[in-house]
Structure 1
Amino acid sequence: MTENPPAPVPRSNVLAIPAYVPGKPPVARPGVTAYKLSSNENPFPPLPGVLAAATEAAGQMNRYPDMGASALYEALSARLDVPVDHLATATGSVGLLYQLVAAFCEPGDEVVHAWRSFEAYPIAVTAGGAVGVPVPLTVDARHDLDAMAAAIGERTRVVVVCTPNNPTGPAVAQAELDAFLARVPSHVLVVVDEAYVEFVRSPDPVDGVATALAHPNVVVTRTFSKAYGLAGFRVGYAVAQPPLAAALRAVSLPFGVSTVAQAAAVASLAATDALLERVDTVVARRDRVLAGLRERGWDVPDAQGNFVWLPITDPEHLGAFVASAEEAALVVRPFVGDGVRISIGEEEACDRLLALPGPTGAPIGD
Structure 2
Amino acid sequence: MTIEFRSVIDAMMSTPNRPAGATPPPIRLSQNEMPWQPAEVITAAMTQAISQTHRYPDYHRLAAREAVAASMGLTADRIAIDNGSGSLLHGLARLVCEPGVNGVYCWPSFEAYPAALGLAGASKTPVDIAENGAMDMDAMRAALTDETRIVYLCNPNNPTGGIVGAAEIRRFLQDIPSNILVVLDEAYREFVTDEPVEATLALLDEFENLVILRTLSKSHGLAGIRAGYSASSPRIAEALRRTSVGFALNSIAEAAVIAAFSPEGMAVAEERIATIVAERARIEAALADAGVSFLPSQSNFIFLHGDAADLLAGFAAQGVLARPFPNAGGARITVGLPAENDAVLSALV
Higher mean displacement: 324-333 or 9-18: 9-18
Specify whether residues 10 and 26 from structure 1 end up closer, same or farther in structure 2 by C-alpha distance, changes over 3 A only: closer
Q: Verify: 1:19 aligned to 2:9, yes or no.
A: no
Q: Verify: 1:321 aligned to 2:315, yes or no.
A: no
Q: Verify: 1:49 aligned to 2:41, yes or no.
A: yes
| Structure 1 counterpart of 2:341 | 350
Amino acid at match of 2:10: L
Amino acid at match of 2:131: V
Q: Structure 1 residue 7: deviation in Å?
A: 2.5
Amino acid at match of 1:340: A
Q: Any idea what the Cα deviations from partners look like across 1:56-80, whole Å, max 9, x if unmatched? A: 1112222222111121011112221
Q: Verify: 1:280 aligned to 2:274, yes or no.
A: yes
In structure 1, C-alpha distance between the alignment counterparts of 2:185 and 2:172, rounded to whole Å: 15
Higher mean displacement: 292-301 or 261-270: 292-301
In structure 1, C-alpha distance between the alignment counterparts of 2:312 and 2:111, rounded to whole Å: 19
CA contact (8 A) 1:46 1:229 kept: yes
In structure 1, C-alpha distance between the alignment counterparts of 2:298 and 2:104, rounded to whole Å: 22
Structural mapping, 1:49-198, within 5 Å = 49-198=41-190
Q: Classify the secondary structure of the residue corresponding to 1:44.
A: coil
Q: Classify the secondary structure of the residue corresponding to 2:46.
A: helix
Q: Classify the secondary structure of the residue corresponding to 1:101.
A: helix
Q: Classify the secondary structure of the residue corresponding to 1:147.
A: helix
In structure 2, C-alpha distance between the alignment counterparts of 1:249 and 1:318, rounded to whole Å: 40
CA contact (8 A) 1:192 1:208 kept: no
Q: Any unmatched runs of 5+ in structure 2?
A: none
CA contact (8 A) 2:46 2:252 kept: yes
CA contact (8 A) 1:17 1:126 kept: no
CA contact (8 A) 1:113 1:134 kept: yes
In structure 1, C-alpha distance between the alignment counterparts of 2:110 and 2:35, rounded to whole Å: 21
Match of 1:333 among 323, 326, 345: 323
CA contact (8 A) 2:133 2:163 kept: no
Superposition misfits of 4+ residues, deviation over 6 angstroms: 20-26
In structure 2, C-alpha distance between the alignment counterparts of 1:266 and 1:160, rounded to whole Å: 28
Amino acid at match of 1:16: A
CA contact (8 A) 1:87 1:239 kept: yes
With normalisation by structure 1, the TM-score equals 0.90
| Structure 2 counterpart of 1:241 | 233
Q: Any idea what the Cα deviations from partners look like across 1:190-243, whole Å, max 9, x if unmatched? A: 110000111000147673322122210100000000011110010000000111
| Structure 2 counterpart of 1:7 | 2
CA contact (8 A) 2:213 2:229 kept: yes
In structure 2, C-alpha distance between the alignment counterparts of 1:46 and 1:205, rounded to whole Å: 22
Q: Any idea what the Cα deviations from partners look like across 1:153-210, whole Å, max 9, x if unmatched? A: 0111001111111110011111211111111111001110000111000147673322
In structure 1, C-alpha distance between the alignment counterparts of 2:100 and 2:271, rounded to whole Å: 46
Q: Any idea what the Cα deviations from partners look like across 1:258-302, whole Å, max 9, x if unmatched? A: 100010111111111111111100100011111111211122222
CA contact (8 A) 1:301 1:309 kept: yes
CA contact (8 A) 2:134 2:156 kept: no
In structure 1, C-alpha distance between the alignment counterparts of 2:252 and 2:185, rounded to whole Å: 25
Q: Structure 1 residue 23: deviation in Å?
A: 9.5
Structure with more helix by fraction: 2
Amino acid at match of 1:311: H
Q: Structure 1 residue 311: deviation in Å?
A: 2.4
Specify whether residues 227 and 192 from structure 1 end up closer, same or farther in structure 2 by C-alpha distance, changes over 3 A only: same
Q: Structure 1 residue 15: deviation in Å?
A: 2.6
CA contact (8 A) 1:20 1:120 kept: no
Q: Any unmatched runs of 5+ in structure 1?
A: 1-5, 358-363
Aligned length: 345
CA contact (8 A) 1:195 1:226 kept: yes
Q: Classify the secondary structure of the residue corresponding to 2:212.
A: strand
Specify whether residues 58 and 162 from structure 1 end up closer, same or farther in structure 2 by C-alpha distance, changes over 3 A only: same
Identity %: 37
Q: Any idea what the Cα deviations from partners look like across 1:133-152, whole Å, max 9, x if unmatched? A: 10001122221100100100
In structure 2, C-alpha distance between the alignment counterparts of 1:20 and 1:67, rounded to whole Å: 35
Q: Structure 1 residue 12: deviation in Å?
A: 2.4
CA contact (8 A) 1:16 1:126 kept: no
With normalisation by structure 2, the TM-score equals 0.94
Q: Whose radius of gyration is greater, 1 or 2? A: 1
Amino acid at match of 1:12: S
Q: Structure 1 residue 106: deviation in Å?
A: 1.3
CA contact (8 A) 2:24 2:321 kept: no
In structure 2, C-alpha distance between the alignment counterparts of 1:304 and 1:189, rounded to whole Å: 25
| Structure 1 counterpart of 2:207 | 215
In structure 1, C-alpha distance between the alignment counterparts of 2:68 and 2:319, rounded to whole Å: 39
Q: Structure 1 residue 19: deviation in Å?
A: 3.4
Name the Cα RMSD after superposition.
1.9
